[in-house]
Amino acid sequence: MIDKIILEVKKTECAADKIIKDANDKAEIIIDNAHKESDKLIERIKEEAKKEGKVTIEKEENFARIEADNIIKKSEREKEELGKKSLKNIDEAVKMVIKKVMEGK
């Protein structure tokens, strides 16, 4: 009778050990899958961040080009105005020089 009880306890222990091993194996698989999924998610997030970064860079480059064009156009207008003013000053300077020459100074 005691042998039967010991045998049943051993069977129960064996079954419990198998259940524990199966649970551990399943837990390992679940953890591995979770790691794989998180790695995939991280890679996807990195790719999305790169795309967003490229879009942001392109937008900023476009803004910079527009601003540069505006600055160039403004500079060209100012250059033309200064050129016109300097021509007026040259005429006046020439007149002054001629006048001084005529006065003998």
Asked whether residue 95 is assigned to any structural domain, the reply reads no
Instruction: Tell me the DSSP string of 41-55.
Output: HHHHHHHHHHHHHHH
Residue-wise pLDDT for 4-18, tens only, equals 888 888 889 999 999
Residue-wise pLDDT for 51-101, tens only, equals 999 999 999 999 999 999 999 999 999 999 988 888 777 877 777 888 888
Asked whether residue 96 is assigned to any structural domain, the reply reads no
Residue-wise pLDDT for 15-58, tens only, equals 999 999 999 999 999 999 999 999 999 999 999 999 999 999 99
One-letter amino acid at 93 equals A
Domain that holds residue 62: 1-79
How many domains is the chain built from?
1
The rounded distance, in Å, linking the Cα atoms of 3 and 7 is 6
Asked whether residue 91 is assigned to any structural domain, the reply reads no
Asked whether residue 17 is assigned to any structural domain, the reply reads yes
| Residue 105 in this model has a pLDDT that exceeds 70 | no
Asked whether residue 88 is assigned to any structural domain, the reply reads no
Asked whether residue 89 is assigned to any structural domain, the reply reads no
Q: What local confidence, expressed as pLDDT, does residue 7 receive?
A: 86
